[in-house]
Structure 1
Amino acid sequence: MPRSSFSDNPILRVSRPVSACSRCRSAKVKCDGKLPACTACEKAGRESECSAANSQFARGKERSYVAALELRIEKLEKRLQYARSRKASVAQHDPDAPPAVDPGRKDSLAFIRAAIHRKAARTRENADVNSLVSDFGYLSVNATTQDFEPSELNMTFARLVLAASTNDPVPEPKGTGLPAEHATRALIQFYEANILPLYPAFSIVSLYSVVDRLYQEIPGPLRNSEYWLFWMVLAISSAAQSRSMRDKSYLDALEFVGRALPHADRALTPGYAAQLQSLILLTQYSMLDPTHFSSWHLIGFTCRAVVDLGFHQDLPYMQPSDLEARRRTFYCVYALDRAISMVHARAFSFYDDAVSVALPSPTKPCGPLSTSDPTVKVPLDASVPLFRLRQLQSGWYQTLFQSDPTDPLPDANSYIWQVCSEMRKWSEGLPDNVPIRIREMLDLELRYSYVYCIAPSARAPHVTPYGRVLIFEHVIACVNRIYDIANGAVNTAFYTYHDALRVFFMGSQFVAALRDGGDSLLSGSPIPMPLAMPGTASPPPLPQRLDRDVGDNLDRSIRCLARVRLTLKLYGDRWENASSLMDTFEAMSADLLESLKSRQAMRDAAATTQAGGFVA
C-alpha cells in the first residue's frame, strides 16, 4: 500500500513553555502564567494590566485555541491545494518537465533529470509542511478551551496531544466485549496495590463504581471519562505485569489502549479536573510503552493543563475535601514531571518558584468494594513521601543542572553534602506502615538520587575521592537489587522503562568513577570522610554491604558491569529501546571491562603462584 503524503498527515510538535504576559516580557522577569493575573503582576498591584503578549489572545479578546488552529490550517490547506494544482499545470505544459523514460533504457541524463524533479517536488512539499508546522509555534496551547465540539473534521485538544505524543500508531482493537469480570478485578487490584498508593489521582471508589455499572445485567450509562478511566487502568496494570513485547499481558495492554482511544476527545476535553486525571493515566501508560507514546511530550501537555487550570496555586476558599483532591492531582503531575525530566536530563515544565501548593494529607484509602474477604489488605498511602522526595530532587536538580552553567557554585561540595543529608533524613523519617515493596522502590530512588547529585555537573564539575567511593558503593547496591527485580517472576511497585534509563545512567557513572579513580577504588583502601565546615552538613556515610556482595572491589566491579548489561538485556525483551542502551553501554565499558579482567587474571595467577610456593 503506498504511503500517504507527509503533508496530509503532518507530525505536530508544539512548544511547551508557558507564554509570558506582555508586562513580564517587557520587564524580562519570570512569568508563571497564573490566571487571571500572574504572580509578578499581582505583587506589583497591576492585575488589570496582565495580558498575553499576542494581542489576539489578550484579555477581552480571548478566543478558542482550537478555532485559531482550524483557521490557520484552513488557510494553509488552501495554499497547499493551490501549490499542487500549479504543480500539475506546470507538469503538463512545462517543456523542462521530466520526459517519460523507458525503464529498460539506461539513459543517465533522463534519470538524472527525473531525480532532480523528484527532489524538487519533495523539497516544495517539505517546505509547505514545515510552514504548516512552524505556524503552530505562534499559537499558545490553551488547555481550558471549551467552545468546540469534536467532529471528524476539526482539530481537538485530544487529537493534538495524540498527534504530538504518538510514536507508533496503536493497533486497532480486535474485540468489542468486556474482559471477564474476575480478570478485570484482578487488574484493578494490582493497580490499587502498586500504583495508586504512589499516584492517587482519582478515588478507587469511583473506579469500582464504574466496574459495577459495566458488569450489571443491563450496564448503566457512563461518561467518556469513565470509560477512559476503566480501559486505561486495565492497560497500565497489564503493561506493568508484562515481561516481553510478545507476551499476553503486553498484547492485552495494547488492546485496552485501543479500546480507550475512541473516548479521548471527550475524556481529554479541556477545562475539567477529569482532563488532568485522563492525562495522568496516559502519561503513566507511556512510561510502560515507549514504543507507542512519548512520556516527555505527554507530561508537557499535562503540566500545561495544570497551569492553565490554576492547579499550581492553592485556593483558600475551597472546601477542605475538594482542596485535598486538588492538591493530590497537582502533586501527581509534579512528581511525574520531575521524574520524567530528570531521567531524560531535560528542563522541568515549570519552576518551583511558580508553585504555591501545600502537600496533601495522607489519604485513608478504602479497601476493594467488591470483596468482603478479610485477608485482602488495604493498600496504604505512600504518595506524600514520594511527593516530598520529588521536591528535594527538584531543588538540587534545578541548582546543579538547570541553572547558569557559567556560574559555578562557590562551595559545591558543602551544597551536595547538605542535600544528601536532607535526603537521608527523609529516608529515616519514612512512615513504618509504608509497604515493603514500595519502601524498596523509594530506597532505590534514594540511591539513584545520591549518584545523580554527586556526579559531575556544570556547576559542580569536580568529584572528590570520597564522592567517587559513594558513587561506587551506591551503584553496586542499586544494580544488585534492580537486577533481582528485573529477574523476578512478577513486577512489584511501579517499575517502568525509565528504570532502564536509570540503570544505564548509573552504569555510565560507575564506568566514569573507575576511570577517574580506579586504582584507589579497586585497592579497597579506606578513604576518610571529609571534615565538614562549621555550620555545614557532613557527607553521607558509606552504605553497608550485604552478605551476598562477596569478593574484593575488583570482583565486585566486574560483577556490577556484567549485571548492568544483563539487566538492560532483560529490559530489552520488554522495551526495544533498552536493547540500544545495552549496546551503547557495552561499547562504552568494553575497554574498562577488558582491563579489569586482565587485572583479575594477573591477581589470580599471582595468588596461585604464591600458594604453590607455600606448598613447596
Structure 2
Amino acid sequence: MVLRSSLADSPLLKVSRPVSACSRCRSAKVKCDNKLPACTACERAGREKECTAANDQFARGKERSYVAALELRIEKLERRLNYARSTNASVALNGPDEPPAADPNRKDSLAFIRAAIHRKAAQNQENADINTLVSDFGYLAINTTTRDFEPSESNMTFARLVLAAATNDPVPEPKTTNLPAESAARALVQLYETNILPLYPAFPATMLHALVSDLYQEHPRQIRSSEYWLFWMVLAIGSAAQSRSHQDEHYLNAVEFVGRALPHADRALRPGYATQVQSLLLLTQYAMLDPAHFDSWHPIGFTCRAVVDQGLHQDPPHTQQMSPDALDERRRIFYCVYALDRATSMVHARGFSFYDDAVSVALPSPVLASGTLSGNSMSKPPPDPSIPLFKLRQLQSDWYQTLYQGNPSESLPDANSIIWQKYFEMWEWSERLPADMSTPIREMLDLELRYSYVYCIASPARGAQVSAYGKLLIFDHAIAYVDKVYDIINLSENAAFYTYHDALRMFFMGSQFVAVLRDIGDLLLSGSSIPMPPPVPGKTSPPPRPVRLDRGTGDNLDRSLRCLERVKLILRLYGNRWEHALALLNGFEISSEEVWEDLTARRAMRNAATTGQWHQLPRA
C-alpha cells in the first residue's frame, strides 16, 4: 500500500477553525477563546503574562492569507515533485545527457555510476519534498472531528496524513489474503488480552472475543473496517511482542498482519468516531514494537489531538446523561492515551501533547478480569493493573512538567526539596500496590519506578543541583534496574509489555550511571560513607538509601563493572530485535569507554595487590 506518493497528488486543504490560538493553548492543544489581554485557559493556569493572544503570524483576518500561502507552496512543491519524477524516470533508462551504457553489467561504467547517483538524488529530493509538505500540515489547525477527511470527499484523508507522518519505511504488501489459522489467531489474541490489554484497556475484551468468533464463522456477518483494523493490529502487536529478532518468524508475521490492516486505515481512523482513538492507540502500540516501520511519536500525537477534539480530556457535564459503564469506558480510553503520551514524551525527552491543567477526568473504575478465549475461568481475578499505571503516569507527569517543561530561565525555588517530595510521592504509590498483583506486572512497574526515581533526581533543570547523596541513589537504582532487565530479557518469554522504549530507557539509565561514576567515582569506589543531607524544617527530607538487592556480589568496583557490561549486553540483545538499538549501543560504548578503562585498571591493580603480585606491576 503506497501512501507517501498519494499525498502530493492532489491534496485538498481545508481549515476547520481559525488559526488564532495563543502559543500556550496551541502547545497544550486546547481550545483558546482569544480573550484579551489573556485567554481564559491562561488565566485559570495563572499564566496571564505568558499568553501571547493572537500574534502577528496567526492573527484574526490572516487565516485565508496563511492558507493561500500554503497552497502556493504546495503548487511549488508539486512542480518540483513532477520534475523529480520525470528526471527519475529518464535517468532510470539513461544517464543524464549520456547514451545508454554499452555494457550495463559493468559496475564501473560512467553511465551506470551517473544513473545511480541521479536516481538516489531524485529519490532523496522526492522524499524531502513530501516530508516538507507533510510538515506544513502541522501548522494547520485541523479539527480531527471534521468530516472533511472522509475518503469520499478528498484524496487527502486523515489516515493518509497520519500514516505519511508516522511511517519510516513502507510496509510491504501482504503475501496472502487468507485469515490465519483460527488456533494461531486465538493464541495471539489471548497473548494480547493477558499481557497488554490489562495495562491499556482501551476496549473491552468481550468485543475482541466476539469479533474473533464472528470472523471464523462459516458465514460471517458484515465486518466493519474498524473491526478488521482491530483484529489485524491485535495480531500484529501480539506477534511483534514475542519477537526476539527482526528476522524471526514472529516479526515477519507481525509485518504481514500490519499490511493486512492498512487497507482499512481510511475508515478505521475516520475522524469524529469513538473507534478513531482506539485505532490510533493500536497503531501507537505497534509502532513502539516496530520502530523500523513506524515512529511512535507521531501516532500518539495524533491520538492526543483526536482526544482533545472529541472532548475526552474533560468529563462530560452533569447535565449530560451517561451510564456508569459508558462513562468508565470513556475515561479508560482517555487514560490509555494519557499514559502512552506521558511515557513516549519522557523517553524521547519532549514536551507533552497537552498539559495536566487542561485535564479534568476522574480515574475509571477497575476492570474486572474476564476469562480467556478458551473459556477457562479464574478462581480469583487479579487486580486491575491499569489503575496503578495511570496513577504513576500522573505522578511522572507532575514532576516532569515542573522540572523539565517549566521556563528554563526561571530558577525553581528550593528545587531539591521539590525533587524529594516527588520521590516520596512515588514511594508512597509503590507501597499501595496490591499485594496479589501478578509478578510480571509488578516487576514492570518496579522498573518504571526506578526509572522515574533516577529521571527525577537527575534533573539539572531550573536550578536543581544533584547532591552526592542523590548521585548515590542514582548509582543504586541504576544497578538494580539493569540487573532486573538483564534477568527479564534472558527469559524465554516476557509476560509484560516491553517495547523499543525500554531500549531507550536502558540507554538513559546506563548514561546516568556513567555520569555518576565520572562525578563521584572515587568516593563510591573507595567505600566512603556518603551522608544523607540534613532535613530542612518544613520540607520533605531526602529518602533513605534503598535496600541493596545484589548483596554478596562484590564491592562497588565489581558492581560497577558488571553493570556496565550488562548494559552493553542488553543493548546488544535489543539490537537483535530492533536495529535502532545498535546505534544506542555504539553511543554508550563511546561515552563509557573512559570509565570502563579506568575501572578495569583499578580491578587489575586490586587483584594484583590481593595475590601478592604488586611488585610485578610496571612502575609509572
TM bucket (normalised to shorter chain) is 0.7 to 0.9
Q: Deviations over 1:434-480 (max 9, x none)?
A: 22111111011000011111114222452111011100000000000
Residue 331 of structure 2 is matched in structure 1 by: 327
Residue 606 of structure 2 is matched in structure 1 by: 603
Kept in 1, the 8 Å contact 2:174–2:256? The answer is: yes
| Corresponding letter in the other structure for 1:139 | L
Kept in 1, the 8 Å contact 2:211–2:227? The answer is: yes
Q: Deviations over 1:190-221 (max 9, x none)?
A: 11111111100000001101011011121222
Cα RMSD after superposing both structures: 3.9
Residue 173 of structure 1 is matched in structure 2 by: 174
Choose which of 441, 454, 457 in structure 2 pairs with 1:454.
457
Choose which of 336, 342, 355 in structure 2 pairs with 1:338.
342
Choose which of 519, 531, 534 in structure 2 pairs with 1:531.
534
Kept in 2, the 8 Å contact 1:144–1:308? The answer is: yes
Kept in 2, the 8 Å contact 1:476–1:560? The answer is: yes
Q: What pairs up with 1:203-222 in 2 under 5 angstroms?
A: 203-222=204-223
Q: What pairs up with 1:280-295 in 2 under 5 angstroms?
A: 280-295=281-296
Q: What pairs up with 1:229-308 in 2 under 5 angstroms?
A: 229-308=230-309
- Residue 489 (str. 1) matches residue 460 (str. 2): no
Q: Deviations over 1:410-431 (max 9, x none)?
A: 2121111110000000000112
1:291 match: secondary structure? coil
Q: Deviations over 1:484-504 (max 9, x none)?
A: 111110112111111111111
| Corresponding letter in the other structure for 2:276 | Q
Residue 363 of structure 2 is matched in structure 1 by: 359
| Corresponding letter in the other structure for 1:425 | E
Partner Cα distance (2:308, 2:500) in 1: 27
Partner Cα distance (1:191, 1:37) in 2: 42
Residue 91 of structure 1 is matched in structure 2 by: none
Partner Cα distance (1:346, 1:165) in 2: 17
- Residue 417 (str. 1) matches residue 400 (str. 2): no
| Corresponding letter in the other structure for 2:151 | P
Kept in 2, the 8 Å contact 1:447–1:475? The answer is: yes
Give the 3 Å change call, closer, same or farther, for CA 379–281 of structure 1 in structure 2. farther
Kept in 2, the 8 Å contact 1:367–1:377? The answer is: no
Q: 1:373 Cα deviation (Å)?
A: 2.9
Give the 3 Å change call, closer, same or farther, for CA 529–81 of structure 1 in structure 2. closer
Kept in 1, the 8 Å contact 2:351–2:405? The answer is: yes
Partner Cα distance (2:398, 2:85) in 1: 56
| Corresponding letter in the other structure for 2:364 | P
Q: 1:20 Cα deviation (Å)?
A: 8.8
Residue 376 of structure 2 is matched in structure 1 by: 373
Residue 314 of structure 1 is matched in structure 2 by: 315
- In structure 2, runs of 5+ residues without a counterpart are 11-15, 45-52, 88-95, 103-109, 616-620
Q: Deviations over 1:170-198 (max 9, x none)?
A: 12111222222222221111111111111
247-256 vs 127-136, which moves further: 127-136
Residue 15 of structure 1 is matched in structure 2 by: none
Q: Deviations over 1:389-423 (max 9, x none)?
A: 01111111111111111212221211111100000
Partner Cα distance (1:7, 1:163) in 2: 9
| Corresponding letter in the other structure for 1:551 | G
2:147 match: secondary structure? coil
Q: What pairs up with 1:150-229 in 2 under 5 angstroms?
A: 150=151, 154-229=155-230
Q: 1:33 Cα deviation (Å)?
A: 5.1
Kept in 2, the 8 Å contact 1:365–1:378? The answer is: yes
| Corresponding letter in the other structure for 2:238 | S
| Corresponding letter in the other structure for 2:512 | Q
User: What percentage of aligned pairs have identical amino acids?
Assistant: 60
1:609 match: secondary structure? coil
Partner Cα distance (2:559, 2:17) in 1: 51
1:459 match: secondary structure? helix
1:404 match: secondary structure? coil
Partner Cα distance (1:126, 1:579) in 2: 25
Give the 3 Å change call, closer, same or farther, for CA 592–217 of structure 1 in structure 2. same
356-365 vs 599-608, which moves further: 356-365
Give the 3 Å change call, closer, same or farther, for CA 367–593 of structure 1 in structure 2. same
327-336 vs 374-383, which moves further: 374-383
- Residue 557 (str. 1) matches residue 560 (str. 2): yes
Give the 3 Å change call, closer, same or farther, for CA 543–183 of structure 1 in structure 2. same
Residue 435 of structure 1 is matched in structure 2 by: 438
Partner Cα distance (2:146, 2:529) in 1: 62
| Corresponding letter in the other structure for 1:437 | P
Partner Cα distance (2:25, 2:358) in 1: 12
Q: 1:124 Cα deviation (Å)?
A: 9.6
Q: 1:534 Cα deviation (Å)?
A: 1.3
Kept in 2, the 8 Å contact 1:438–1:493? The answer is: yes
2:451 match: secondary structure? helix
Give the 3 Å change call, closer, same or farther, for CA 218–129 of structure 1 in structure 2. closer
Q: Deviations over 1:146-169 (max 9, x none)?
A: 245426970100011001100011
| Corresponding letter in the other structure for 1:592 | V
| Corresponding letter in the other structure for 1:609 | G
Q: 1:297 Cα deviation (Å)?
A: 1.0
Paired residues, what number? Answer: 572
- In structure 1, runs of 5+ residues without a counterpart are 13-17, 88-97, 105-109
515-524 vs 32-41, which moves further: 32-41
Choose which of 350, 353, 356 in structure 1 pairs with 2:354.
350
Q: Deviations over 1:2-44 (max 9, x none)?
A: xx9x9887699xxxxx99974746xx87785546968944898
| Corresponding letter in the other structure for 1:502 | R
**TM-score after normalising by structure 1:** 0.83
Partner Cα distance (1:290, 1:425) in 2: 35
2:212 match: secondary structure? helix
Partner Cα distance (1:470, 1:590) in 2: 23
Residue 90 of structure 1 is matched in structure 2 by: none
Partner Cα distance (1:102, 1:189) in 2: 58
Kept in 1, the 8 Å contact 2:241–2:498? The answer is: yes
Give the 3 Å change call, closer, same or farther, for CA 550–80 of structure 1 in structure 2. closer
Kept in 2, the 8 Å contact 1:367–1:379? The answer is: no
Q: Deviations over 1:491-528 (max 9, x none)?
A: 12111111111111000000000000001111222222
Give the 3 Å change call, closer, same or farther, for CA 528–7 of structure 1 in structure 2. same
Q: Deviations over 1:313-337 (max 9, x none)?
A: 1103233222211111111001000
Kept in 1, the 8 Å contact 2:415–2:463? The answer is: yes
Q: Deviations over 1:316-373 (max 9, x none)?
A: 32332222111111110010000001001111111111111111121213223x4333
| Corresponding letter in the other structure for 1:444 | L
Give the 3 Å change call, closer, same or farther, for CA 29–324 of structure 1 in structure 2. closer
Residue 445 of structure 1 is matched in structure 2 by: 448
Give the 3 Å change call, closer, same or farther, for CA 201–548 of structure 1 in structure 2. same
Choose which of 573, 590, 597 in structure 1 pairs with 2:576.
573
Give the 3 Å change call, closer, same or farther, for CA 529–146 of structure 1 in structure 2. same
| Corresponding letter in the other structure for 2:288 | M
Kept in 1, the 8 Å contact 2:290–2:500? The answer is: yes
